Structure 1
Amino acid sequence: MNPMLPAKLASITLLAALLAPGAVWAKASDRNQPMNIEASFNDCVFTDNGKCQFRGDVVITQGSLEIHADTADVIQRNGETERVILSGKQARLKQQMDDNTWMNARADNMDYNVNSEVIILTGNYNVESERGTNAGQRMVYNTRTGAMQSGGDGTRVRTVIQPKNKAPTASGDKK
């Protein structure tokens, strides 16, 4: 085994974690806002352990968060939302970060586990922010820690990391 391989893998993993434009930097105030869900149809069981399915041009908003999907399943456990499963060709998510930049994501399926704060994007996913992009077939992203894993399933992953912004030129400054 190449002795440099673990160091290279650690560097790539660190860069990917720094790049990952996810909810770990999402506007903290969004979680305290009401969630609004609009759809063409819903089928809900309003119990402590129920499920609501929304179908047809589903739009979910909560603060700066905006989601569009063909379907959304909201699963409750003990009166609290446990999972949200979004699907479509493609489901889209947009959210403002605490630094006022925007993150955009799309995938055929997004499965968010509220308790573990892990979102799994599958099917031609693409995540974009000012920091860069990441695209592939499957990404597991921990919004609490910022840890991200993608690929490893025989498919390719594409990551683009934008250069750090340079200071503005001083062309207008007097010397």
Structure 2
Amino acid sequence: MNRTLPAELATIALLAALLLPGLAWSKASDRNQPMTIDATSSDCSMAGDNGKCRFTGNVVIVQGTLEIHADTADVMQKNGEIDRVVLTGKQAALKQQMDDGTMMNAHANNMDYNIHTETIILTGDYKVESERGTNAGQRMVYNTRSGNMQSGGDGTRVRTVIQPKNKAAAAPGEKK
């Protein structure tokens, strides 16, 4: 019987709990701020309270401390509410201040955020960074409500770097 399995599971659980640099703790007040979308062009098709808007060309979305840059943003609406946002680009980028004041940055070729399930799927050379660490790979599914993160498992590699909780000051000439 392999006695290291529980230790490996504990390590994986610890990584998942510590690593994802705070998407679950994104600045809560941002959700109550107006959203501004700037783009080269837009094409909206609305049928009552349902429809889709496609924004293309140097898309910039700002909502509170949240700032997104993408080549294309598809914003889907159901029953008068934003339901899903799909961002694409080489690479789409997202940055946001967390409730604790730290910053989180994410980059991916595709970001698919489902508002109702509170799940974001990052695909295509994604990387999520914060002061606590980084996670990079080809595909990650992250539940912003529960903090559950799943990455890899598709035959590609995942790289996780966890920073020490109390970083010591780097010696002169060393990179921090």
Same fold (TM over 0.5): yes
Counterpart AA for 2:17: A
Aligned residue for 1:18? 18
Aligned residue for 2:148? 147
- What is the DSSP-based 3-state SS (H/G/I as helix, E as strand, rest coil) of the residue aligned with 2:155? coil
Aligned residue for 1:118? 119
1:98-117 counterparts in 2 under 5 A?
A: 98-117=99-118
1:88 aligns with 2:52: no
> Would you say how many aligned residue pairs link Structure 1 and Structure 2?
168
Aligned residue for 1:38? 38
Instruction: Identify unmatched segments of 5+ residues in structure 1.
Output: 169-175
TM-score by length of 1: 0.91
1:61-72 counterparts in 2 under 5 A?
A: 61-72=62-73
The CA deviation at 1:2 is 2.5
- What is the DSSP-based 3-state SS (H/G/I as helix, E as strand, rest coil) of the residue aligned with 2:160? strand
The CA deviation at 1:151 is 0.3
TM-score by length of 2: 0.91
Cα distance per residue 1:136-155 (max 9 Å; x no partner)? 00000000111101000000
Instruction: Identify unmatched segments of 5+ residues in structure 2.
Output: 170-176
- What is the DSSP-based 3-state SS (H/G/I as helix, E as strand, rest coil) of the residue aligned with 1:164? coil
Query: 2: CA distance between counterparts of 1:137 and 1:65?
Result: 23
The CA deviation at 1:15 is 1.4
Between 63-72 and 4-13, report the one with greater CA deviation: 4-13
Cα distance per residue 1:98-143 (max 9 Å; x no partner)? 0000000000000000001000000000000000000000000000
> Which segments of structure 1 move beyond 4 Å, counting only runs of 4 or more?
none
Query: 2: CA distance between counterparts of 1:57 and 1:137?
Result: 24
- What is the DSSP-based 3-state SS (H/G/I as helix, E as strand, rest coil) of the residue aligned with 1:152? coil
The CA deviation at 1:6 is 4.1
Aligned-CA RMSD value: 1.5
Query: 1: CA distance between counterparts of 2:66 and 2:142?
Result: 17
Query: 1: CA distance between counterparts of 2:168 and 2:108?
Result: 35
Aligned residue for 2:166? 165
Query: 2: CA distance between counterparts of 1:42 and 1:166?
Result: 45
| Identity among equivalent pairs (%) | 75
- What is the DSSP-based 3-state SS (H/G/I as helix, E as strand, rest coil) of the residue aligned with 1:50? strand
